[in-house]
């Protein structure tokens, strides 16, 4: 029997993603509302798959040559996000 998917690659919630990308929770929700970021809905909850977020960031870098999204600049090393 295989382990559940969540044990292998846990999904991030809005707060965790905001911290990881060093942007505000409000900005994450705006990206979701504008369908500019990959997300999953689990019932009424928003969840983010880390691998999909990494691929999305790599796509941004490839297309624009920068990690800038709107007015916020992402730090790919993570840590210390605003809330």
What is the structure's pLDDT at 62?
A: 82
In a domain, 56, yes or no: yes
Q: How far apart are CA 82 and CA 19, in angstroms?
A: 7
Q: Which residue has tokens 């998917």?
A: 5
pLDDT band, very low/low/confident/very high, at 15 (cuts 50, 70, 90)? very high
Whether residue 2 is contained in a domain is answered as: no
pLDDT at 11: 97
Range(s) of the domain holding residue 31: 8-67
Does residue 76 fall inside a structural domain?
no
Query: Domain containing 47 — which CATH number?
Result: 1.10.10
The tens digit of pLDDT for each residue in 58-83 reads 998 888 776 666 555 554 444 444 44
* 55 within domain boundaries: yes
- For the chain, the domain total comes to 1
pLDDT of the residue at 63: 80
Q: What is the pLDDT of residues 27-59, one digit of tens each?
A: 999 999 999 999 999 999 999 999 999 999 999
């Amino acid at each position: 029997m295989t382990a559940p998917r969540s044990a292998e690659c846990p999904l991030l919630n809005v707060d965790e993603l905001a911290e990881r990308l060093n942007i505000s929770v409000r900005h994450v929700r705006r990206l979701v509302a504008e369908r500019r970021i990959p997300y999953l809905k689990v019932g009424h909850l928003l969840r983010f798959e880390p691998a999909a977020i990494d691929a999305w960031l790599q796509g941004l870098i490839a297309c624009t040559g920068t990690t800038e999204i709107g007015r916020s600049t992402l730090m790919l090393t993570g840590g210390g996000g605003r809330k």
